[in-house]
């Protein structure tokens, strides 16, 4: 297993995985691929959580969902992912009130191949760390964030960084969308 996280400037790995896109019977699953996302010409924000049916994870997933239109407004495809199966994802969505109305796919990396290639598998349990990748329309990783298993991330910071990257300019510390960028 890999133990080095893919970082800035690396090509995001190719993938084709099952994803849960609905809780409607017969319409739950979809085959999602990196090729489809790349062909959309959009940015991709993929965030990973360790396990379904846990405590911190649904708070993050619900918060990403609360900001779904913010990502959409920025021409970014939002994808949540873990190493749980599509069936576990679907059961969790049906079971958890905050997850029933998700507007983004829950990717199932049951083989752990994508998490391994990204270098985000925890050594003992072989579950994904809380990782977030911002990938540009050419498939290049432009930002990576990793959190300990016990600490939830800040979705507004993900949006702030996405905004900064999309300016393609120099953005100072604590820069917010609409503020002046720096001139070299």
Please say if 171 is a catalytic residue: no
Instruction: Quote the CA–CA distance of 172 and 63 in Å, as a whole number.
Output: 26
Catalytic residue among 57, 115, 131, 135: 57
Contacts of 109 (CB under 8 A, 6+ apart): 17, 81, 82, 83, 115, 128
3-class state of residue 58 by DSSP: helix
Q: Which of 153, 157, 167, 173 is nearest to 60 (CA)?
A: 153
| 13 in Cβ contact with 118 (< 8 Å) | yes
Q: Which of 75, 89, 108 is nearest to 22 (CA)?
A: 89
**Which residue numbers are catalytic?**
57
């Amino acid at each position: 297993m890999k133990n080095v996280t893919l970082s800035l400037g690396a090509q995001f790995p190719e993938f084709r995985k099952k994803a849960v896109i609905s809780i409607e019977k017969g319409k739950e699953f979809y085959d999602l691929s990196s090729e489809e996302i790349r062909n959309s010409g959009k940015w991709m924000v993929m965030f990973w959580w360790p396990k379904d049916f846990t405590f911190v994870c649904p708070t993050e997933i619900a918060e990403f969902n609360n900001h779904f239109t913010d990502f959409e407004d920025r021409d970014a495809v939002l994808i949540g992912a873990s190493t749980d199966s599509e069936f576990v994802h679907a059961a969790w969505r049906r079971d958890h009130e905050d997850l029933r109305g998700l507007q983004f796919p829950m990717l199932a990396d049951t083989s752990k191949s994508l998490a391994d290639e990204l270098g985000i598998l925890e050594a003992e349990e072989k579950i994904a760390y809380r990782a977030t990748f911002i990938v540009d329309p050419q498939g290049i990783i432009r930002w990576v964030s990793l959190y300990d298993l016990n600490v939830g991330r800040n979705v507004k910071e993900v949006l702030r960084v996405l905004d900064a990257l999309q300016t393609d300019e120099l953005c100072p510390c604590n820069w917010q969308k609409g503020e002046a960028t720096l001139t070299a």
